[in-house]
């Protein structure tokens, strides 16, 4: 079957849907688990940072190792991680926090971006580690 066959599109849509289902449900479980903390900021931060690590790994795995299939990258990257992480909730929670404490809001923005960036770097490092093992 060729890459442009209509069944490839159906397969891709199904993988995105399955990944999205799993990501959204795991996100909910994470929010419930961290719901005992004072604000919802920590669940969103944890999901966003974990998502950055995983996406960094998946994308750099393709560059440096290339073992994962396109289908797995689509299911994990587009499906799972786009449902697991959330920019809109981050923005709303930050705006809500700003009405109570500007320092908390600024801290939340800084933490999401700084830790998210570090997460991508960590994911890349893990992918490079696997690439080094494959090369040996």
**Is residue 66 left, alpha or beta, with left meaning phi > 0 and alpha meaning psi from -120 to 50?**
left
Residue range 86-99, pLDDT digits in tens: 899 899 999 999 99
Domain parsing of the chain, residue ranges: 6-135
Residue range 8-42, pLDDT digits in tens: 889 999 999 999 999 999 999 998 888 766 667 88
| pTM score over 0.85 | yes
Q: How far apart are CA 108 and CA 76, in angstroms?
A: 26
């Amino acid at each position: 079957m060729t890459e442009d066959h209509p069944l490839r599109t159906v397969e891709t849509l199904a993988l995105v849907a399955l990944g999205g289902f799993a990501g959204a449900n795991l996100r909910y479980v994470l929010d419930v688990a961290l719901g005992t903390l004072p604000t919802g900021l920590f669940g969103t931060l944890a999901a966003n940072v974990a998502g950055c690590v995983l996406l960094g790994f998946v994308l750099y795995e393709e560059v440096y190792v290339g073992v994962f299939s396109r289908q797995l990258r689509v299911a994990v990257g587009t499906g799972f991680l786009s449902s697991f992480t959330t920019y809109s909730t981050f923005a709303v929670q930050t705006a809500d926090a700003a009405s109570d404490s500007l320092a908390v809001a600024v801290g939340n923005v800084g933490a999401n971006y700084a830790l998210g960036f570090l997460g991508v770097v960590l994911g890349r490092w893990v992918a490079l580690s696997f690439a080094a093992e494959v090369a040996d």
